[in-house]
A and B are shown apart, each in its own frame.
Chain A
Amino acid sequence: MSNVGIVIVSHSPLVAEGTADMVRQMVGDEVPLAWCGGNGHGGLGTSVEAIMGAIEKAWSEAGVAILVDLGGAETNSEMAVEMIGEPRAQKIVVCNAPIVEGAVMAATEASGGASLKEVVATAHELSPS
C-alpha cells in the first residue's frame, strides 16, 4: 500500500487496541495500521521488540508515523527506530501528539495519500508547542 502507515504504542494493550479500533472505524483498510502495548510479560509497559514488530506490520514505502502515550513509550519507540536502522529509519517518525486524537487525525490525513511530512504535521498540530 502506498499510504503512510500508522503505529500505535501504549503502555496498555487495551488502550492501544481501542485506539486502533477507532482509527479503523475512521479510515477502514486504507491505511496500514498496527498497535502494540504491554511489556511483553503481561504487565503495563512497552517493548522495543513489539514496537519493531508493529513497525514491520504497518510498513509502507511512504513511511510510518508512530503515536505514543507516556514517556517510556516514546523512548522505546525511538530505540526501535534506531535498531531498525537506515534506510528505513529516516521514513519513520515518532509523533509528538496525544495518542488517540493523534492516531485518528494522522490516519485520516494518511488515508488521503498525504506524505509522511504532512501526516506528522497534522498530528503535531494537536500539541501545544
Chain B
Amino acid sequence: MAVFHLARLITAAADTIAAHAEELTALDQAIGDGDHGLNMKRGFEAVRAEAEAFSAKPLPEALKAIGTKLVMTVGGASGPLFGTLFMALGKEISAAPDRANLTAAFGKAIEAVAARGKSQVGQKTMLDVLQPVHDALADGKTGSEIANIADAAADATIPMKALRGRASFLGDRSIGHMDAGARSTALLVRTVAETIGESV
C-alpha cells in the first residue's frame, strides 16, 4: 500500500458521516430506533478530534485505538459492531499492508463483526456490504469498482427481511427499506476507496 495519511482518511470519513447523518437517521427511523445517524456522527467526530494522535501510531495500533474510541462513543448496537470491525482489522493488518494482507485482515474483521452481532450474511445488516467488499478485494477489483459494489450491496438490503437487530422485530415490515448500517458501511467504503485511491 502506498503511503497515505491516516489523518486525511479520518477527516474524510467523519465528513462523509456528518454529511449523511440525517439520511442515516431517516433510514433507521423507518425500521430501527432512529438514532444511527446521530450515533455515528458523534463517534466519528470523537475520532476526528484525535485524528493527529491516531495517525502518529503504527497502522495496526491506530485502527485498534479508533475501534475502541468508536465503541465508547457511538453507543447503540452500532458502537460495538463498527468498533469491533476496526479493532479486529487492527489486530490482523500489518503496518504496511499489501492487497493480500488487507484482504485477509478484512476477512478476519468480518468474522469478528459476525460473532459480535451473532449474525451472518443475508440478514439485512452491515455484513451484507462487508462480505461483497471483501470478495471484491480478493478479486483484485479497483477502488472505484469496490465503491460501486458496496453501494449496490447496500441497495440489495432493501428487499431483504431483517433477522437481526431492532429491525427484526418488524418481521416482514422491514422489507422495502435499506438497512442503515449497510448504508453507513457503503459510505465508509466509498470514502476509503476514494481517499486512498488505487494504491492498494
Given A43-B35, A45-B35, A48-B80, also A79-B71 (CB < 8 A): yes
B117 cross-chain contacts in A, Cβ below 8 A:
75
Give the nearest-CB partner of B169 in chain A: A70
In the complex the two chains form, is A71's CB within 8 Å of B79's CB? Answer: no
For A47, the chain B residues whose CB sits under 8 A away are: 72, 75
Partner of A75, one of B33, B72, B77: B77
> Known contacts A39-B35, A71-B165, A72-B166: does B71 contact A83 (CB below 8 Å)?
yes
Known: A70-B166, A71-B164, A71-B166. A79 touches B75 (CB 8 A): no
| Nearest CB of chain B from residue A48's CB, rounded to whole Å | 5
Contact size range, A:
10 to 19
Residues of B near A46 (CB, < 8 A) are 75-76
B84 CB within 8 Å of chain A: yes
Whether A41 contacts B42 in the complex (CB less than 8 A), given A75-B117, A79-B84, comes out as yes
B83 closest partner in A (C-beta): A79
Which of B72, B80, B164, B166: most chain A Cβ within 10 A? B80
Distance of B175 from chain A, by nearest CB (Å): 19
Known: A45-B35, A49-B72. A76 touches B42 (CB 8 A): no
**In the complex, are the beta carbons of B81 and A45 less than 8 A apart?**
no
Indicate if the CB atoms of A78 and B80 lie closer than 8 Å: yes
Residues of B within 8 A of A49 (CB): 72
Q: What 5 A-B pairs are tightest by C-beta distance, nearest first?
A: A72-B77, A79-B80, A39-B75, A75-B77, A75-B80
List B residues at the A interface (Cβ < 8 Å).
Answer: 33, 35, 39, 42, 68, 71-72, 75-77, 79-81, 83-84, 116-117, 164-166
